[in-house]
Amino acid sequence: MSSVPTHDHWIRGRSVGPRDRARIPRYSPADGRLIANAAAGTAQDVKEAVTAARDAFERGPWTSLSGAERGERLGRLADLMQRNLEALARIEAEEAGKPITAARMEMGVAIGLTRYAASLAWNITGRLLTQGGPGRFGLVIREARGVAGLIVAWNYPALCLMQKLPYALAAGCAVVIKPSELTAGTTLMIARMASEVGIPDGQVNVVIGTGEVVGEALTSDSAVDMISFTGSSRVGKQVAAKCAASGKHCSLELGGKGANIIFADADIDAAVEATYLGFTYNKGEECCSSARILVERAIAPQVTEALVARCRKARIGMPLDDQTDVGPMIHAQHMARVLDYIAKAKAEGGRLITGGAQLREGDLARGCFLPPTIFDQVTPRMTVFREEIFGPVACIVGFDSVDEAIQLANDTEYGLANGVWTSKIDTALAVVARLRSGMVYVNTYFESLPQLPLGGLKASGTGHENGPEGLQEFLQTRSAFIRSRS
């Protein structure tokens, strides 16, 4: 019988056990087994990790390297992750409850982001201004912000991390990472890999624990220069307030309530498949989820019927089964929250047309499994239309015109991602221009490129990850005026 893994903190390039032997057990969301015991971090653990990061940054063994040298070591990190992709994916699948096929794909994306960030390290540029007059020069300097606190969500532990960590390291920052206490395994494995490829001890530190303790200490510490946070809009606002109080730079990737707009001239089969994926991928525990399905009324019956049929074919199962495409939700408390939203949707007049109840059959009886769930007869005032549910729950709403579709899509406090389905490029471009979201997918969903920034509008956040903009979050700009006396 295999032993249960223990997750300790990682500070100054070594494992650090919990104080008073305090640990947080992680039980499988699929069958209730104990799958990990994580150290319960304290404010003192955070202080030690921040001190380690500050020492590493001030000593400068990493920052003093050329961008090319930092990029080369990040490339080595990507290579090591590639060699260990299957091990990383298995940890991710079991701890986060995601299908192993999705975990493998996400690891591939994370590795690609690391390679892209490595390339950006070569291209950190300043600016020399030479037109100030004889002997007068201006210099614009871009340099690492310092110590960055990276707070990572539980729904994409490795992918969320690698939308932050390689960019921070490319810039020259030292980091303290707070993974979720539920899903710390891949973060710790990647931190150890960073040491193996020559990233100096203290440059990458990890403290596991709750947001109330570890997150609070990290955002409040005056020796931390910036926070990059992924999580709910509610907590993100609290993080932003704390950062503002201490003058920290803050980058927030928060919640969403995306819409998939399907016009009558769209490729219906492709739209249905991608719309299904848009609200069921990662069990709907996805901030870019397209949980509002807006359909032109002329095709609404056809799309609804096809979506329901697709949902009923969902392969719901254990995370390590290659045939699974919908795994268990993160834990029982979150499952109960999503079921409360389903009950509220019914009470407010929405019609449940598929799903809606936790599975209690056979091998799935002990897990947190919820089949894809759709409501119709929904109005924009209903909770199921307005609030982020963070589960595989969607609603279908009809529209008659482009203007009505855009008004419905924008009728939300969020602004992270939306989708548009049409065969007319003019319609697509017109809708992209008017949608109030940081990302718009056209005739696809969830596809992107490392070069494209991800960032939210309104309650969905501030700042960006990925693209050149993802690097800029970890750089600060200074200037100097120089007068030659010769």
DSSP letters of 296-329? EGGGHHHHHHHHHHHHHT--B--TT-TT-SB---
Q: Enumerate residues 6+ apart whose C-beta is below 8 A from 18.
A: 8, 9, 39, 40, 41
473 is catalytic: no
Residue 386 contacts residue 380 (beta carbons within 8 Å) = yes
287 is catalytic: yes
Look up tokens 């490829």; give the residue: 197
Kindly provide the residue ranges of all beta strands, DSSP E only, lying in 263-408, ordered along the sequence.
292-296, 351-354, 373-376, 393-399
Q: For the stretch 25-37, what's the b/e string if a residue is b when 16 or more beta carbons lie within 10 angstroms of its beta carbon?
A: ebebbbbeeebbb
Which tokens is 392 given? 């595989």
Cα–Cα distances (Å) from 425 to 146, 243, 257, 429, in that order, read: 44, 42, 25, 6
Residue 372 contacts residue 392 (beta carbons within 8 Å) = yes
In whole angstroms, what is the distance from residue 479 CA to residue 195 CA?
34
Q: Which of 48, 92, 253, 465 is catalytic?
A: 253
Q: What is the helix, strand, coil percentage profile of the chain, to 5?
A: 40, 20, 35
Q: Enumerate residues 6+ apart whose C-beta is below 8 A from 71.
A: 118, 119, 120, 121, 122, 170
The residue type at 119: S
Q: Enumerate residues 6+ apart whose C-beta is below 8 A from 271.
A: 260, 262, 303, 421, 443
> How far is C-alpha 12 from the chain's CA centre?
26
Q: Which of 160, 287, 288, 368 is catalytic?
A: 287
Please, how many CA atoms are within 13 Å of residue 60, restricted to the half-sphere of its CB? 4
Contacts of 221-225 spanning 24+ positions with Cβ under 8 A: 221/46, 221/47, 221/50, 221/149, 222/246, 223/50, 223/51, 223/54, 223/147, 224/50, 224/147, 224/148, 224/149, 224/176, 224/248, 225/145, 225/146, 225/147, 225/148, 225/173, 225/249
Active site residue ranges = 253, 287
